[in-house]
Structure 1
Amino acid sequence: MFCGECGSSTSATPLTRRRPDPRGRDTTIIQPLPRSTVISVPVPAAPPPAERIGPVPPAPAAVPVPVSAVPVPVSAVPVPVSEALPPGDSPNAPRPDGVRFVLQFSTGETVNVHGSGLIGRRPLPQPGEVFDHLVQIQDSGMSVSKSHLEFGQHGGQFWVSDRFSGNGSVLQRPSEGPLRCEPGRRYLVPRGSRVDIADQYFVLA
């Protein structure tokens, strides 16, 4: 209901008759933040554009040159990487070394290898790794890790590196005592050496 003269509400409740709010005060009054000091740095005005003294002469028209008049040497023509490689190769394909080795395992298997590879129960390269060989060993006792040993070549010499296996790797060179391989470190393996991988081993020939 509103007053016809002043337009105010005639049914408004006075402030003294207001019911108290049953909810507690959940607003925290904080102190006003101090006014921050603003430092204005004058920015130099951009220089006015240079006035043109006269009309700009048009650029001379390009004279077409016949293609046959400009000889292009063969060596200057870029060749795509895929065409520069032999058939069947790719830029990310491993480059096998020319030296080949024979791994004679205690399980009776013989594997001819070259380049690099992994040895284990289920060898699996890490993301970004590329190997020439993945040599899987049948180990019923599961003493050999999935990716137990890594091998490769350096200057025609064979090397091995333990891949942080559970049971480790031991190198036995000819006329030398056994040497436990430190994980992640490469060890040169001459021909005739024996490499123990847990309960299994192989002889390099």
Structure 2
Amino acid sequence: MTEAETRERGRWHRVTDILGVFLLSVVAVLTAWCGFEASKWSGEMSIAFSQASSARIQAANADGEARSARSFDLTIYASFLQAVGEGNEELADYIRERFTPEFRVAYDAWVEDGMVEHAPFAREEYVPEGSVEAVELNALADEKFTQALEDNQRGDNYSLLTVLFALVLFLTAMSQRELVPWVGRTLLGLAIVVAVVGVVILTTFPIRI
């Protein structure tokens, strides 16, 4: 090997060493960042699942409240019909005054439209107390559950990217071994390509601080 070839080989060796150290440093930081983001999104997933569970419980309570309100209205209305059937107008008026606001709206609309439906309960105006809350809370629970699944996927994406950067570290470390020069440069080049692909993918991921 001539002196010029020796110098050229030494120059390439220094260049690959510098690139290798730089790549190892950068990828180590990126790997740590991916691990941090994976843990953050895992935490967000847990919070969202907890909120979904809480909303579902509240929705069940609101739905129970709506069923109780409906049962109460049915009882009052049955007493009202009995009083009307017996011709006891005074009692019927007394009971009518004790209709709940939600049932009164439906009853008035039912009477105004000629009592077409079998009972005021079939009217869309009849919304027992707790019904709206139950619907809203169920929708919130569904939203939080979907968000939790998305957060879980984001955490998995960061974890997979950690594996990709681990491959970069492996290839870079192997390129620093005493290998045939072209093999070392090939491994380092492949590590750089994989690192660039990983960085490009990383830029598309959402960040949670």
TM-score normalized by the length of structure 2 = 0.18
More helix, by proportion: 2
Q: Which has the higher contact order (CA 8 A, sep 6+)?
A: 2
Instruction: Say which structure is richer in strand.
Output: 1
TM-score, length-scaled by structure 1: 0.18
